[in-house]
Amino acid sequence: MDDRPHKAHRPAQSGAKAGKKDKAKGKERQQGFNAKAFAPKSGRRADRQGRRAVERDQTRLHVPLVNRTPDENPPPVIIAIAGPPGVGKTTLLKSLVRRFTKQTLNDPKGPITVVSGKKRRLTFIECNNDLNSMIDIGKVADLVLLMIDGSFGFEMETFEFLNILQSHGFPKVIGILSHLDLIKKAATLKATKKALKKRFWTEIYQGAKLFYLSGVINGRYPDTEILNLTRFISVMKFRPLIFRNSHPYILADRLEDLTPRELVRTSKGKCDRTVTVYGYVRGTNLRLGTKVHIPGVGDLDMTSVQKLGDPCPLPDEASEKRRKLSEKKKLLIHAPMSDVGGVIYDKDAVWINVPGSFSRGNEEVPQGEGEQMVMDLQDVATTLEDAVSKSQIRLFGSSSNPLAVAAQSLPGEDTDDEQEEEDSDDESGFEDDEDLHSAEEDEEGFDFDHLPPGAENTGRRSHRVVQRTLPSSSRQSRADIEYAESDSDLGDNDDDLPSTSNRRVRFAGEDDDDIEIPSDDDALDDEEGEDEDVPQWKKNLAERAQSLASSSRKGKRKDWIKLIYASDLTPAEVLHGKAEGDKEEDVDDFFTIKHKSDVGEVEALDKGKEPIDDVELEKWQDEELLESIRGLFITGEDSGAAGGDNDGEWDGVGDGDGQGSGSEGEGEGDEDGGLPAEQTTKDAKTLQAKKERLKRKFDEQYDDPESRKDDFYDSAKDEIARQLALNHAEFEGVESEARALVEGFCPGAYVRIELSNVPCELVEHFDPHYPIIVGGLLAAEERFGYVQVRVKRHRWFTRPLKTNDPLVFSLGWRRFQTVPIYSLDDHSIRMRMLKYTPEHMHCYATFYGPVSLPNTGFCTFNSLLGDTPGFRVSATGVVLDVDRSVKIVKKLKLTGVPYKIFKNTAFIKDMFTSALEIAKFEGANIKTVSGIRGQVKKALPKPDGAFRATFEDKILKSDLVFLRAWYSIEPRKFYNPVTSLLLSIKTSWTGMRLTGQVRRDEGLKTPLNVNSTYKKVERSARKFNPLRVPQKLQASLPYASKPKLMTKQRSQTYLQKRAVVMEPEEREAVALLQQMRALRKDKVVKRKEKKEGKKEERRKKLERDDARREEKDKDKKKDVMRMVGMKHKREQETEEGRGSRKRRKP
């Protein structure tokens, strides 16, 4: 016992203890990287190390991609939780939501958005086991939490899901092993983990993250494990995926049906619906005018898009400050499909979900402040209008007359009443509107406008319908609230006249900077005025444009945006102003158009260049004018009037950065317009600046000549960053509504999309467990055509794919069934049809369907049904080409037989049926089976379809003649979108069936073509005539080549015929030999018998042994089965005890 060696002491290498020991010994531990320790020992090694470092550095680099998702206020990250049923997806979702919001959900449905940090929000969505859902979620998820049952291992769905992800641009995947508590033995657990990890890594990449969840406590996973997981999630970085970075998309977290109830009732619910979906814009900017595709529904038109207040905003400084103590624990969650949170925002309404039974007048139930207020509002007997008209307001204490209310409502009044529709124009800042404004930036800066809606979640005061107002008009009315004017005047009708006059005044006198701001504002206001469909602005728009145009000739500036986009003036009128005669016709649009259309349009040509105006050119005879433009040339001096470019003469040097410095030059140009008195100081300043610039350039080049030449990676990244900054800056000051028109809704905005003509089944069979994705389509993707793809059958799919068999594609946003034709490139000459996909090889496939951009990945399925045995992903591939026609051919062999043979010419029949056909094939190449090549010459008059052909040699009568032709085929124009979301049972979508399947279902027999039956091939033995060499030739042949004419001896020869008479001693000898032979034979027979007996014995023995062993095995099996049965029974008992955990039978 004592002599057993003890385990050696292993001193701590890290941590507090290690440091203590060192300090005690009096030596200081080195902190951080010890460069000396890794110094190379030899030059060679240094070289190798250096190269390795550089190589490793290069592996870090990726192709620079533009990330369209903005850095501030990005959309929530979509985290999908996927896995086979019963693996614990819902439990994980509940645990994660609980971790972030401290709320426990009972039945999480649909996307759930939570705030996870200062800069990040997360949208969780559970992916059910339907293949359609897996496809859709695979296309939008940024991160997939792939759950794997540790006690069972990988399942087919997991691999299918991974393949779907792979073909649509692999998002990040974190594996999560659950049910590890079911493995009791520690060794087994370790081995299982290792095995699963290995498999997982081969599937994703070496080192992919895999989490282990041990067990369930209180219906949730252990808090520490979830905490670790969330830490991982919240720091995860995402690389933009190309498809998502070029398409806008929305994961709808809410769906409302806006169809008038009456219409639904009269059509018995069968009419097309108008539906709104809500969600965060992701990907790129969402723009109106494009189509969207909802996978499982189809292509739809967006009627309108509105930006709504963020229901789950990121915390900012203001909101953090205002957060009350009571709210501290209430963290934000937005999950409209799961009915949490209680408050739902809409464009025109706010819905409060009151838990429990709530009825008016029920006094026992304690009512909150919000509910009380709503009920108070409902109690109001008179409308606000009446109330205001009755009220008496004195503006000043001394004024005798109370302020009277005109027939029309005052701008200063706003009502909470639901019938009020027109009040959209005038909004005077009632506090109730605050929620509507929260998302918009308001320069006026009313306090409440900055309240995020989240802060108001608790105390909702009203339940009402309020029209969303346009901030521009509201600001306008706020700015000039003048009681004397009526409401209609206060719209943007009049904003132009006073402001233009204002401007004119200012132009005369004051400094220049002031002008820019109002003019710019007006431009924007006017543009907004246009989107809001107020008929009034149209009335005298032309007049105003006219006045503007005419004034511009006096040096006034035109508002180009408005003139171009918002007026119905013809281009000529925009440019040259309207002719005086047209002016009175402003009253009616109809006539003006008619009149304009025939004004001088007849002779106007669509010209590439305008005719030179000779009168205009006259002025160039003036020397002074000629001199005045000298500043526009590089030789001209840098005059202030020329403006713009200060570093003109240095552009020869810095040609490259000419564009980059453009904006700076412009900025400087603005300052240039100063007074001539300042000229000298300014010149000095420019000189100074120029010197500075040169010095900087010199320093840069002198100090570090290397830094000048950036590598490709850095310069590309810089370029991207610069462009993004420019994008951001260009529309910075623009009002959000106008901005949405120009650049669309940027990612991160919470929008409401109104879709028209939506199939009613979507609404009727809506199930929140199935994701609704609104994918924006590019212009090209709305079209149809023949799509050529490169495809490879999946190696786990058991059967080859057959041409003209329907196949379900998941391509782009779409899922659809179509009929592909497979082909291979035949020597780059032709695309040759293949009946079946080749084994282990790519081939081409061409199908008719919606166009996708080249380089888009896809995967295909033969069936989407859940009960399909085996692996369902049948092939994967990539789009190569899109066209309106295809050039696939298949081989067609025509056969004929010669019926008359001349020397090299033969008459061939049975290949064609008429002379016309032959005329088409004149000159075509033909070939016999034996390989003699020839050509079709001309049709013969007599037997129909016979022709003359020539060959390179004489052919035989027995030869078959082939004509190899290529017959072009087109894929069938079949496109069948997978409308799974429209079904009541979403998993039961079946598309077009195979012919065999239809026959089987209908109980039909396969039609039998008599010619297609297999018959026994009768081949009579060929008789060849003997070779006859002419006598003369034979004579001249050498002996070796001469035919050997001797035949086989048939009669017996003497040797066989002679009789043998033996001598006595000879006879004895022969007899002796015979006896010996007989003895030996006997011996052999005996030996054989003996051996047989022994063999028999051994066989019997073996039989006995086998029987015994079998019995033993049977007993053993019985034992095992009994054990298994008992274990199963135990399990079931524990399960019933534990509750609702469903285990699928493996």
Partner 1 sequence: MSSSLLTFSGHQFLRQRLVLSILSGKHVKIDRIRPEDKNPGLREYEISLLRLLERVTNGTVIEISVTGTALLLRPGVISGGLVVHDCPPSRSIGYFLEPIIMLAPFSKKPLNLTLTGITTDEDDLSVDLLRTVTLPHLQPFGISDGLELRIKKRGAPPGGGGEVQFLCPIVKQVKTLNFVDPGKIKRIRGISHAVRVNPQFSNRMIEAARSILNRYIPDIYLYSDVYKGEESGKSPGYALSLLAESTTGAIHCAEAISQAGVAPEDIGLRATRALLSEINRGGCVDRRHQTLVLLMMVLGSEDVGRCRMSEPTEKTIQFLRDVRSFFGTSFKVVPVDSSNPECTQLLYSCYGTGYINANRTLA
The footprint of partner 1 on residues 847-886 (CB under 8 A) is: 851-855, 878-885
| Residue 1145, CB-side half-sphere exposure with 13 Å CA sphere | 1
Q: Contact between 600 and partner 1 (CB under 8 A)?
A: no
Helix (H, G, I), strand (E, B) or coil at 65: coil
Minimal distance, residue 246 CB to partner 1, in Å: 6
Closer of 225 and 299 to partner 1 (Cβ): 299
Q: Return the closest-CA partner of residue 108 out of 127, 122, 121.
A: 127
Q: Contact between 609 and partner 1 (CB under 8 A)?
A: yes
Minimal distance, residue 570 CB to partner 1, in Å: 8
Q: Return the closest-CA partner of residue 500 out of 551, 546, 541, 566.
A: 551
Site for partner 1 in 226-265 (CB under 8 A): 246
Q: Are strands 210-212 and 172-178 parallel, antiparallel or unpaired?
A: parallel
Task: Choose the stretch contacting partner 1; rule: CB under 8 A; options: 398-406, 693-701, 718-726, 1098-1106.
Answer: 718-726
Q: How crowded is residue 390: how many other Cβ atoms within 10 Å of its Cβ? A: 9
Site for partner 1 in 563-582 (CB under 8 A): 563-565, 570-572, 574-575
Task: Choose the stretch contacting partner 1; rule: CB under 8 A; options: 597-605, 690-698, 956-964, 1066-1074.
Answer: 597-605
Measured CA to CA, the distance from residue 528 to residue 524 in angstroms comes to 6
**Dihedral through CA 156, CA 159, CA 165, CA 170, nearest 10?**
160
In the list 187, 407, 479, 612, the residue contacting partner 1 (rule: CB under 8 A) is 612
Q: Contact between 632 and partner 1 (CB under 8 A)?
A: yes
Minimal distance, residue 778 CB to partner 1, in Å: 7
Q: Contact between 513 and partner 1 (CB under 8 A)?
A: yes
Q: Contact between 557 and partner 1 (CB under 8 A)?
A: yes
Q: Contact between 944 and partner 1 (CB under 8 A)?
A: no
The token duo for 242 is: 């190309």
H or E segment at 89? helix 89-101
Q: Contact between 717 and partner 1 (CB under 8 A)?
A: no
Closer of 183 and 515 to partner 1 (Cβ): 515
Residue that is written with structure tokens 């969600």 in the block: 279
| Under 8 Å between Cβ of 144 and 172 | yes
Closer of 288 and 1079 to partner 1 (Cβ): 288
Task: Choose the stretch contacting partner 1; rule: CB under 8 A; options: 212-220, 329-337, 615-623, 917-925.
Answer: 615-623
Binding mask 65-104 for partner 1 (x = CB under 8 A): -x-x------------------------------------
Closer of 575 and 1121 to partner 1 (Cβ): 575
Minimal distance, residue 480 CB to partner 1, in Å: 24
Q: Return the closest-CA partner of residue 933 out of 916, 950, 913.
A: 950
Q: Contact between 733 and partner 1 (CB under 8 A)?
A: no
Query: Strand ranges (DSSP E) for 664-772?
Result: 750-758
Q: Contact between 827 and partner 1 (CB under 8 A)?
A: no
H or E segment at 900? strand 888-901
Q: Contact between 1120 and partner 1 (CB under 8 A)?
A: no
Binding mask 15-54 for partner 1 (x = CB under 8 A): ----------------------------------------
Site for partner 1 in 766-805 (CB under 8 A): 778-785, 790
Helix (H, G, I), strand (E, B) or coil at 44: helix
Task: Choose the stretch contacting partner 1; rule: CB under 8 A; options: 21-29, 288-296, 425-433, 1069-1077.
Answer: 288-296
In the list 103, 234, 285, 904, the residue contacting partner 1 (rule: CB under 8 A) is 285
Q: Return the closest-CA partner of residue 973 out of 819, 852, 834.
A: 819
From the centroid of its chain, how far is CA 727? 23
Minimal distance, residue 505 CB to partner 1, in Å: 14
Q: Return the closest-CA partner of residue 172 out of 259, 240, 99.
A: 240
| Under 8 Å between Cβ of 178 and 155 | no
In the list 597, 1047, 1056, 1140, the residue contacting partner 1 (rule: CB under 8 A) is 597
Task: Choose the stretch contacting partner 1; rule: CB under 8 A; options: 328-336, 607-615, 938-946, 1053-1061.
Answer: 607-615
Task: Choose the stretch contacting partner 1; rule: CB under 8 A; options: 86-94, 135-143, 478-486, 727-735.
Answer: 727-735
Q: Return the closest-CA partner of residue 349 out of 460, 472, 477.
A: 460
H or E segment at 847? strand 842-850
Binding-site size for partner 1 (CB under 8 A) equals 106
Q: Contact between 598 and partner 1 (CB under 8 A)?
A: yes
The β-bridge partners of 882 are 787
Question: What's the Cα-to-Cα distance from 726 to each of 440, 654, 719, 720, 721, rounded to whole Å?
Answer: 22, 22, 11, 10, 9
Helix (H, G, I), strand (E, B) or coil at 441: coil
Minimal distance, residue 257 CB to partner 1, in Å: 24
Site for partner 1 in 876-935 (CB under 8 A): 878-885
Q: Return the closest-CA partner of residue 806 out of 1000, 994, 1002, 988.
A: 994
DSSP class of 851 = -
Site for partner 1 in 481-510 (CB under 8 A): 507
Q: Are strands 830-834 and 888-901 parallel, antiparallel or unpaired?
A: parallel
Site for partner 1 in 800-819 (CB under 8 A): none
User: 264-294 as b/e, with b when 16 or more CB fall inside 10 Å?
Assistant: beeeeeeeebbbbbbbbbbbbbbbeebebbb
Binding mask 641-680 for partner 1 (x = CB under 8 A): --xxx--x--xx--x--xx-xxx-xx--xx--x-------
In the list 57, 107, 606, 624, the residue contacting partner 1 (rule: CB under 8 A) is 606
Site for partner 1 in 517-546 (CB under 8 A): 519-520, 523
Q: Contact between 601 and partner 1 (CB under 8 A)?
A: yes
Site for partner 1 in 1034-1093 (CB under 8 A): none
Q: Is the dihedral of CA 461, 463, 468, 474 positive or negative?
A: negative
Residue 474 is which amino acid? S
Closer of 117 and 733 to partner 1 (Cβ): 733
Site for partner 1 in 51-70 (CB under 8 A): 66, 68
Closer of 739 and 872 to partner 1 (Cβ): 739
Closer of 230 and 628 to partner 1 (Cβ): 628
DSSP class of 563 = I
Site for partner 1 in 391-430 (CB under 8 A): none
Task: Choose the stretch contacting partner 1; rule: CB under 8 A; options: 101-109, 279-287, 340-348, 1106-1114.
Answer: 279-287
Task: Choose the stretch contacting partner 1; rule: CB under 8 A; options: 386-394, 559-567, 705-713, 832-840.
Answer: 559-567
Closer of 128 and 856 to partner 1 (Cβ): 856
Binding mask 984-1013 for partner 1 (x = CB under 8 A): ------------------------------
Can you spell out the DSSP letters for 575-615? HH---GGGGGGGG-HHHHHHHHHTSS-SS----SSPPP-HH
Residue that is written with structure tokens 């462009």 in the block: 723
Residue that is written with structure tokens 């979507």 in the block: 762
Closer of 280 and 947 to partner 1 (Cβ): 280
The β-bridge partners of 816 are 809, 977
Query: Strand ranges (DSSP E) for 183-242?
Result: 210-212
Q: Contact between 288 and partner 1 (CB under 8 A)?
A: yes
Helix (H, G, I), strand (E, B) or coil at 326: coil
Can you spell out the DSSP letters for 967-1026? EEE-----EEE--GGGSSSGGG---PPPHHHHHHHHTPPPP--GGGS------PPP-PPP
Minimal distance, residue 748 CB to partner 1, in Å: 15
Measured CA to CA, the distance from residue 454 to residue 438 in angstroms comes to 10
Closer of 232 and 560 to partner 1 (Cβ): 560
Closer of 563 and 819 to partner 1 (Cβ): 563
